Amino acid sequence: MVPSYLFYYGPHSFLWFSNLALLTGLLAAWLENRWLASMALVATLLPELGWIVSFVGGLAGVAPLRELVSYMFDPGIPLFMRALSLYHLPLPFVLFWMTWRLGYEPRAWRLLLLVGYGVLLLSFLLAAPGRSVNWVLGPVAGEPQPWLPPLAWLGLVMAGFTLVWWLTHRFVARVTATNRRFA
């Protein structure tokens, strides 16, 4: 996947949190590192579930978050490249299982804030129209939003990610608490 993405999409595509979570999850599995697994899960659980719902809905002709998955139905993108993106389907479940097995590290979400803000800032600095990663230019991946100054929009994106990560952290901490009692 890495060489194909580098060639077709370019290095900036590895700033997407889902791509980072895939690579971080592989490293977490290899090292059996609960910090990395916890960070990858918290960073992507809700957005990945949104991707899955939109993709399955798109197959049925009703995609609730169409922009998340529009590239999957774009005949201009080679089928092989679109097929590589099917990793989104198992990713949140594999990360959840790995976190369940290794144990959730509740402090990892704070480290995710630092790393995540860095990724968002880098995404913003490298963004160009048509190449907006993590929605740092606007709600549609390729289009800059016209409503706010760019830095205000970035602040809003950071606040949105912070809320999503905090909610995910609270959910995962609660669900995995039973695992800690019986381990």
DSSP label at 14? G
Distance CA(41)–CA(34), nearest Å, equals 10
Question: 125-130: long-range contacts at Cβ-Cβ below 8 A with a sequence spacing of 24 or more?
Answer: 126/12, 126/15
DSSP state of 72: G
How do residues 95-119 score in pLDDT, each as one tens digit? Answer: 999 999 999 999 999 999 999 999 9
Phi, psi of 143 (to 5 degrees): -115, 125
- Report yes or no on whether pTM surpasses 0.85: yes
pLDDT digits (tens, 9 = 90+) for 121-180: 999 999 877 778 898 988 876 678 889 999 999 999 999 999 999 999 999 999 987 665
